Structure 1
Amino acid sequence: MKTNLNKYLALVICSVLLAVSVSSCKKDNYYKDGGLAKANFNGSILQYLQSNPKFDTIAQIVKLAGMEDILSKEDITFFAPTDEVIRRTIGLVNSNIPYVSGGLNQSLFELNKDTIKTLDEIPQATWRKYLMRYVLKGKYLLKDFPQLDFDLRPQYPGGYYYGYNGDLDAIGVVYNSVINKNTSNNTTTTIRYAGYRQLCIASIVDPSNPSNFYNVSAPVATSDIQASNGVVHVLAVYDAAYTYYNGADKLMRASEILMDDFGLYPDFFQEVILNR
């Protein structure tokens, strides 16, 4: 079954409009804190993806990659990217829509190569190779991963895990700080490791220099969704960690930084271009 990418990418316009409307609060609830997600799902990981509109395209890619049995029958842990990651990675030509310009199609267009119109134009082997980076054999909850501190890597390095196809992943739990502001004397106090805990995953493309991953680590928005055959950790699309005090005793978001490309590294992008 072919997916009409032009029709599919048109959904980006709706998502951008929603981002500036009241409904963006609902999106925040899913993508940022995951508060609306259920901890248990009565079905397989594949059925979870198929039941959730945020994963319509990911479910199609699972089929194109020939990985339906893996996600429905085997005991695995899946770090699930959302459809927005696919939209942004593939992108639009000469788009002025935020976050979807400069993707694969823009680069293909500038190189005088055919742009991607349907998802099945990308070979099955390519989809399979990079989707498997998100899959670990066995079931891993957040509590099963070691602590990761980007500022104190020698003490808290996280851990290294082999993905389903043998690629090396770096995974760890970031213990965030709590920042308290005293309005009476205009001072702040930081309590280290007292805040929320957040999983992060990255692909190690050069095992001889694994520290490279820290620049492209993708955080998890919702962790520990338990299906019948494993665990799903939903990856965040945005990182709202960059914050500041706006002078009105209110913590404000300075910027929202887009996270990983599909495949957790730009080599998916590069491989598709080289094979067009």
Structure 2
Amino acid sequence: MNTLRKIYNNRCWITGIFLVILLATSCKKDDYYLDTGTIDPHYKGTILDYLKEKPFYFDSLVTIIQLAGMNDVFTKDTVTFFAPTDHSIQNTVEILNVNLYALGKDTIKTLEDVPPEVWKKYLSIYLFKGANELKDYPQIDFDLLRTYPGQNYLSYNNTVMNIGVVYGNANDVKYVGYRQLHLTYIDKPAQIMKAYTKAPVASSNIKPLNGVIHVLSDMHFFFGFSPFDFVNDYQIYKGE
């Protein structure tokens, strides 16, 4: 994994770095995220097996699962997994390296350089007990959150996450069009209307033997949702 050699002095610099990263890491995965078409949702294998079969999108994710010591969760437990792609992992690692370099610390060269506790904490944000499909979640309208707020759920590490389905419009008729699942990180769980980061799902209702996978779209930029929290936890667990 390449190390970024950029220094920032304030959040304005970081905003610029974000834009550079997002442009630089836009890879040729667009077709995957645009439309999955009609396919058989059932998969004759575990969640981990499914991810391993698609290394172009999930090779780093599979490595993180193994580093976090969560193989059994993804092969034996019945879970719903909102799968982030390697695109978001790369972005978060690059932000980590920007911060480490600016602080005069060694940047990471491989995913193994991150403490397993950090990987486990942030991986667990995307994981929920039980097998839930799109139809099992309530409606959310980000313009009318008081009316259609989705619902808060506890992830595997007890982080409060909001999950809801956006009902699209069709022929100028509200809520009768496509439906898209969203996983939302709430900075302040009691104030979803004020501070949240949403991650739309590109492919929903993939059904391996031990649960359900909803693959997040390329619009989910950062693994763990908050790269600055990730940086802070990295330093805490490294004792820096």
**Class of the TM-score when normalised by the shorter of the 2 chains:** 0.7 to 0.9
Which residue pairs with 2:207 in the alignment?
Answer: 226
2:158 aligned with 1:166: yes
Partner-residue secondary structure (3-state), 1:220: strand
Q: Assess, with a 3 A threshold, how the Cα gap between structure 1 residues 233 and 112 changes in structure 2: closer, same or farther.
A: same
Q: Assess, with a 3 A threshold, how the Cα gap between structure 1 residues 207 and 51 changes in structure 2: closer, same or farther.
A: same
- Choose from 90, 94, 117 the match for 2:93: 90
Partner-residue secondary structure (3-state), 1:114: coil
Which residue pairs with 1:207 in the alignment?
Answer: 189
C-alpha distance in 1 between matches for 2:41 and 2:231: 33
Deviations 1:3-35 (A, max 9, x none): xx349xxxxxxx96985xxxx5xx333212233
Q: Assess, with a 3 A threshold, how the Cα gap between structure 1 residues 212 and 70 changes in structure 2: closer, same or farther.
A: farther
Whether the 8 Å contact between 1:108 and 1:273 is mirrored in structure 2 is no
Query: Identity, % of aligned pairs?
Result: 45
2:12 aligned with 1:50: no
2:79 aligned with 1:76: yes
TM (norm. structure 1) is 0.72
2:205 aligned with 1:235: no
Which residue pairs with 1:112 in the alignment?
Answer: 104
TM (norm. structure 2) is 0.83
Which fold has the larger relative contact order, with Cα–Cα distance below 8 Å and residues 6 or more apart in sequence?
A: 2
Matched to 2:177, the amino acid is G
Task: Give the strand-richer structure, 1 or 2.
Answer: 1
Q: C-alpha displacement at 1:265, in angstroms?
A: 2.5
Partner-residue secondary structure (3-state), 2:148: coil
- Choose from 221, 232, 240 the match for 1:270: 232
C-alpha distance in 2 between matches for 1:86 and 1:18: 13
2:141 aligned with 1:149: yes
- Choose from 206, 219, 222 the match for 1:261: 222
Deviations 1:176-197 (A, max 9, x none): 223x6xxxxxxxxx33213211
Matched to 1:123, the amino acid is P
How many residues align? The count is: 218
Say what the alpha-carbon RMSD is for the aligned residues: 2.4
Gaps of 5+ in 1: 8-14, 92-102, 181-189, 239-258
Computing the radius of gyration from Cα coordinates, the structure with the larger value is 1
C-alpha distance in 1 between matches for 2:168 and 2:194: 21
Q: C-alpha displacement at 1:110, in angstroms?
A: 1.4
Q: C-alpha displacement at 1:210, in angstroms?
A: 3.4
C-alpha distance in 2 between matches for 1:171 and 1:18: 26
2:157 aligned with 1:175: no
Which residue pairs with 2:114 in the alignment?
Answer: 122
Deviations 1:87-112 (A, max 9, x none): 11112xxxxxxxxxxx2211211111
Q: C-alpha displacement at 1:123, in angstroms?
A: 0.8
Matched to 2:77, the amino acid is E
